[in-house]
Amino acid sequence: MNCQVPYWEALIEGRVPLRGKVAVNGSKNTSFPILAASLLTSEPCLLQNVPQLWDTEVMRSLLRSLGSDVQIQGEDSLRLQSRATGTGENYLPDSEGIQKIRGSIYLMGALLASQGYVEMPFPGGCNFGERPIDLHLRGFEGLGAKIERLKDRVILTIPKEGLKGTTLFLGGPAGASVTGTANVLLAAVKAKGHTRIECAACEPEVTELCRVLLTMGARIRGIGSPILEIEGVDTLNGFSHRLSPDRIEAGTWALLGLCTGHPSEPMLIEPFPHEELGALLFILHGMGAAWKLDGDCLQICGGQKLRATEVHAIPYPGFPTDLQAPLAVLMSLAEGESSIHDHIYSQRFLYARELKRLGASCEPFLGGLKMRTSSLRGTRVEATDLRAAAALYIAGLMADGISQITHAEYVDRGYEHFEEKLRHLGAHVERRAPG
């Protein structure tokens, strides 16, 4: 697999007010389970508004390694047709690719349902603490799969009679699992009989997957609720679907606009999925931020006087964990002491060390971070994961002087043409090879 992401550094000139319009791309996190769902049918599938990211490129290569015909159509559409479904062959995904992205985990449920056999290493992704797959395996085992756990991989097989519906509880220490719910759902739609998933994740990524599966002929009730009822079917059809806007990208631009936007000329963010970002907008309102919605366009300005706040990252419809790092940067502008607690990934605060280098007054504690009013100064910092990278870009744009971000390539995993969009808004940002 030739999906190597190069190592880059970014140079950012701070204190340049940003203005203009920025477009939000399709949802990265929603694309992965839907791409995996194409393995459940031998009919052609069309997925539109797919973001051009390093992670989605890896997923395309993984599907090709499984025998799928994957064609790029236009700028943002993929035509997919699985050649593995119903052949009786056991297609094995590329091990190197599996370990590069967390989204590869969805291949497990889809392959179990379509081939009856899965052999793959544990998935990769950004490093911000343990993200086990115990709930996934518990769900597959409940459906009748035999699981063999090896040191570096897992092997799943189904009995001759196939997967069988049952009642499953998929709650974990942090509540419902988005990836666990979607993964087990991909297998359950073809299991015999009735499956009931209790403590199902209600995130938009799961809801959108359910809608796609319905168009394929799946039978699912309770969509959007913590209890999903599935009646298994023997065969599924193809689908044509356009991905919804990426709520995390949209939220990142909103926070960036407040941190770096021009005080009198608004930043326009469109399409802005405000119904999925109610928790963020509520928090911003409580901090004293002014924003305006005009249809699906959010208008927001920088230079606003903000109040300190306390935020808890929890499962949907609560404040999303993927936005806590950019929100922490905004908290450095608020008067007083703010705090942010992450009840999903309690170790996701490695970026605090880098914010301190920029002059931020921040103090990590168990499962959270305290932020105080700070003036940032440009310096050299290191991005440790995708959302931390976005947060450091925002901090660099706020800081006096020049900031240098190593491992800037992390933003390519979740933000399409990120620096190009920043320059379009007026930012002075340059990417270069190290040295």
93 vs 402 pLDDT, higher one: 402
CA distances from 332 to 101, 309, 340, 359, 394 (A): 31, 11, 12, 10, 11
320 — pLDDT class (breaks 50, 70, 90): very high
Query: Which pair of structure tokens corresponds to residue 68?
Result: 């799928």
Q: Does the pLDDT of residue 56 top 60, yes or no?
A: yes
- Sort 14 into a burial class: Cβ within 10 Å, 0-12 / 13-18 / 19+: buried
434 — pLDDT class (breaks 50, 70, 90): confident
Q: Does the pLDDT of residue 70 top 70, yes or no?
A: yes
Q: What is the mean pLDDT of residues 101-122?
A: 93
404 φ, ψ (degrees, to nearest 5):
-120, 120
Please give the domain boundaries of the chain with CATH numbers for all domains. 9-25+245-432 (3.65.10.10), 28-242 (3.65.10.10)
Q: Does the pLDDT of residue 125 top 80, yes or no?
A: no
89 — pLDDT class (breaks 50, 70, 90): low
Q: What is the mean pLDDT of residues 325-330?
A: 98
What's the confidence (pLDDT) of residue 128?
39
Mean of pLDDT over the chain: 94
Q: Please check whether residue 56 is in contact with residue 28, taking contact to mean a CB–CB distance below 8 angstroms.
A: yes
253-272 per-position pLDDT tens digit: 999 999 999 999 999 999 99
What's the confidence (pLDDT) of residue 347?
87
What's the confidence (pLDDT) of residue 123?
79
6 — pLDDT class (breaks 50, 70, 90): low
Q: Does the pLDDT of residue 203 top 90, yes or no?
A: yes
Q: What is the mean pLDDT of residues 3-18?
A: 86
Q: Does the pLDDT of residue 135 top 80, yes or no?
A: yes
What's the confidence (pLDDT) of residue 127?
44
- Sort 174 into a burial class: Cβ within 10 Å, 0-12 / 13-18 / 19+: middle
- The whole-model pTM stands at 0.95
Residues labelled as active-site residues: 126
Report the C-alpha gap between 179 and 107 in whole angstroms.
11
Q: Does the pLDDT of residue 27 top 80, yes or no?
A: yes
161-196 per-position pLDDT tens digit: 999 999 999 998 888 999 999 999 999 999 999 999
Q: What is the mean pLDDT of residues 343-353?
A: 93
